[in-house]
Amino acid sequence: MRVWPLRHERSYDPRVDDSGAASGVGKSWLCTALCRLLARRRRSVAPFKAQNMSDNAAPARTLSGGWGEIGRAQAVQALACGRSPHVDQNPILLKPTGHRSSDVVVSGRSVGVMSAKDYRARRASGGSRDRRLRAAL
């Protein structure tokens, strides 16, 4: 875990990076605890995970005020921060549907089921007619 200030900021505004090489070792729980601890100390904190693969989804607000879905861990972390869950906290959610395929959720909305190969190719090319998917991938 690292904490560091951004160079271009005038005040000390640390960022926390919780990195780990294994699955199921408690990274999300550690982040939840840190979010709660910092929120209780009146720090402005918010969770963020750019891409998550999980069967567990939770409702979250969208930019238009509607509802979408994000990973359950990010929703719990948002609540620990004293914030409402929002789709910007987990822009890409991959929900496994079968062998090497997932339902791809971008900004809270499903854009369809893709094989791992198709997803990697689309991410590499950035090609899509869907502006949100192009921006996120």
Full residue range of the structural domain in which residue 15 is found:
2-136
What is the model's pTM? Answer: 0.78
pLDDT digits (tens, 9 = 90+) for 47-98: 999 899 999 999 999 988 899 999 999 999 999 999 999 999 999 999 999 8
Around Cβ 60, how many Cβ atoms within 10 Å? 23
Strand partners, 112: 104
pLDDT digits (tens, 9 = 90+) for 20-60: 778 888 889 999 999 999 999 998 889 999 899 999 999 99
* Residue 73 three-state SS: helix
Report which secondary-structure segment, H or E, holds 112. Answer: strand 109-115
* Residue 92 three-state SS: strand
Look at the chain and report how many structural domains it folds into. Answer: 1
Tokens 């004293």 map to which residue? Answer: 82
Which DSSP category does 89 fall into? G
